[in-house]
Amino acid sequence: MVDDERLMLRRFMRLAEGIDDLKVIGSFDDPFDALDFAEENDVDVAFLDIEMPEMDGIELARRLRAIRHDMLIVPVTAYESYIHESNRIGADYFIVKPYTEQVLKTAMEKLRLLAMKQDKDVRIQMFGRFLVKKNGQPVPLTGKAKEILALIVTRRGKEISNEEIYTTIWEGRPCDNASMSVYYNALKRLRVALDQAGLSGLLVSTRRGQTVDTSLFDCDFYDWKDKTADSRSKFEGEFLPEYTWSEYLIGEVMTF
């Protein structure tokens, strides 16, 4: 916790005592002391006052992220006008003074979820061209196999029937067992590619169709729908532009 007002530091420490997993390992009224501390200690989350002399909370957040890129950042300020600036640095939550113990508890609920997401090594990109990354490296998916996965991921864990997948991707072709063999061949290639990448559990087959285990990956589209901090700044007007069927979903993204 960093705040140049010692009264606010003491208030934060007092309220934090009632929250089991909010363990304050350092409180500072000087941002430079906070930086020195972060260099030598594991800090999971930083609560930062924004208006401070010599170095404001926004600049302090940038420097802390340079030390540890996955550090969760929570600006704490009396001025809601700083929300936009906080979004620009990818703040993970935002607390407005004066706050209560319940406000801190709510913040911790959000931060726990974000911390769990950071432990995932698979990230799926839907803003722009479809891309699946594991540990930062693209998973080799191509052609219709890749397109099938993209369509399934848009359903966010809901089942989509094999017939709907086929008629969406192979639009205008007859829907019978013989014609759908091309779909089942592509689906087999998708399973093989996921297995080779160590992602066999990502695609889940049901009696009628397919779904994905959303607990295994993060997704920019899901973050957008959840209104996760900084997710809006990642959307630049393109949503799966390589697939014509994505056009019916772009309106949902644009107006959300």
- For the chain, the domains span 6-118, 122-254
Q: How far apart are CA 6 and CA 3, in angstroms?
A: 7
pLDDT 10s digits, 200-234: 999 999 999 999 999 889 888 888 877 654 554 46
CATH number of the domain at 122-254, please? 1.10.10.10
Given a cut of 50, the residues of the chain with pLDDT beneath it are: 229, 232-233, 256
Residue at 136: amino acid letter? G
Q: How far apart are CA 5 and CA 18, in angstroms?
A: 22
pTM > 0.85: no
Phi-psi region of 156 (alpha: psi -120 to 50; beta: other; left: phi over 0): left
Instruction: Tell me if 6-118 shares its fold with 122-254.
Output: no
Confidence at residue 254, expressed as pLDDT on a 0 to 100 scale: 57
Confidence at residue 229, expressed as pLDDT on a 0 to 100 scale: 47
Residue 219 near residue 121, CB atoms below 8 Å: no
Show Cβ contacts of residue 236 under 8 Å, excluding neighbours closer than 6 positions: 127, 128
DSSP 8-state secondary structure symbol assigned to residue 190 = H
Residue 5 near residue 13, CB atoms below 8 Å: no
Other C-beta atoms closer than 10 Å to the C-beta of 93 total 20
- CATH topology for 6-118 is Rossmann fold (3.40.50)
Question: Could you tell me which residues are beta bridge partners of residue 72?
Answer: 45
